[in-house]
């Protein structure tokens, strides 16, 4: 799909809203640690939660990083593409991998990156990300390095391409499976799943959400299997504000955001 409608306004009392973070709630930055969620978006998420919306963040980041970016808000979250998941009660489940082997893989990747200036390794404990946003000429190097590592450790890790990044994540981890797990539990069970994401890892989750009778929303350009599209992070923020009601006060100015309830 290439030309898609903007998503409708939802009945937040009936929806389970799953949100990616980078490229969805926050603009991408040259370095992952520079990413931030605008204060107005944080206020909107808090207001949605207070009005009965059920929210969860489903991200490639670790849950600790998700919490830092959302602070003071604390939401159910799936981190590292679903390798770790905290439910609405605060209980955390994590994929268990051999710590010694992960340490050896990290050392292997760090050694390789030192020989490829501009390529940056981000270790997530049980997953690794090779970033080349600051050195786009290193894309082929990053791909070869990630592919070789994934092939050597095929029983443990899976290659996940993304925007200016190649990630190595646990084979069993997926955002779609994380959303399915959320939807099997209260307070998400019985609601309509809605997933908003912008990257290739989100594409794999869109059919899962649609299979649950939910709605899939792609952020940004490009081919997608999602049903709806929002053009960018600012449009996501605007759409989320619209879920609070037809008239939203922003900076003292009431804006009619319209839309149909589904």
Which CB contacts under 8 angstroms, 24+ apart, belong to 153-159?
A: 153/101, 153/105, 156/97, 156/98, 156/101, 157/105, 157/127
* 20 annotated active-site: yes
Q: Are strands 92-94 and 120-123 parallel, antiparallel or unpaired?
A: unpaired
Distance of CA 74 to the CA centre of its chain: 16
Catalytic residue (choose from 3, 5, 11, 20): 20
Question: Strand, coil or helix: what is 187?
Answer: coil
Query: Cα 113 to chain center, whole Å?
Result: 26
Tokens representing residue 94 in the block: 């994590």
Q: How is the chain split among helix, strand and coil, in percent rounded to 5?
A: 35, 25, 40
Distances in Å between the Cα of 84 and the Cα atoms of 87, 134, 148, 189, 231 are 10, 28, 25, 20, 29
Return the number of other C-beta atoms located less than 10 Å from residue 259's C-beta. 15
Instruction: Give the CB-side neighbour count of residue 144, counting CA atoms within 13 A.
Output: 8
Residues forming the active site = 20
């Amino acid at each position: 799909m290439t030309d898609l409608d903007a998503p409708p306004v939802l009945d937040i009392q009936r929806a389970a809203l799953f949100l990616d973070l980078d490229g969805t709630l926050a603009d991408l930055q040259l370095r992952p640690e520079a990413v931030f969620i605008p204060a107005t978006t944080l206020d909107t998420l808090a207001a949605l939660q207070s009005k009965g919306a059920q929210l969860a963040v489903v991200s490639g980041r670790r849950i600790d990083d998700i919490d830092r970016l959302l602070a003071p808000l604390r939401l159910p979250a799936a981190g590292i593409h679903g390798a770790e998941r905290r439910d609405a009660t605060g209980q955390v489940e994590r994929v268990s991998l051999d710590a010694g082997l992960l340490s050896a893989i990290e050392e292997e990747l760090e050694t390789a990156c030192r020989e490829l200036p501009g390529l940056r390794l981000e270790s997530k404990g049980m997953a690794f990300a090779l970033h080349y946003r600051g050195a786009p000429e290193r894309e082929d190097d990053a791909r070869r390095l990630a592919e070789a590592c994934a092939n050597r450790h095929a029983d443990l890790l899976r290659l996940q391409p993304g925007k200016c990044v190649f990630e190595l994540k646990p084979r069993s981890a997926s955002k779609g499976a994380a959303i399915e797990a959320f939807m099997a539990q209260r307070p998400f069970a019985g609601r309509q799943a809605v997933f908003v994401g912008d990257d290739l890892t989100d594409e794999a989750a869109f059919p899962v959400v649609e299979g649950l009778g939910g709605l899939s929303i792609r952020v940004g350009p490009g081919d997608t299997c999602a049903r709806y599209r929002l053009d960018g992070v600012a449009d996501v923020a605007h759409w989320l504000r619209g879920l609070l009601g037809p008239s939203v006060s922003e900076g003292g100015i009431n804006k009619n955001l319209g839309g149909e309830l589904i």
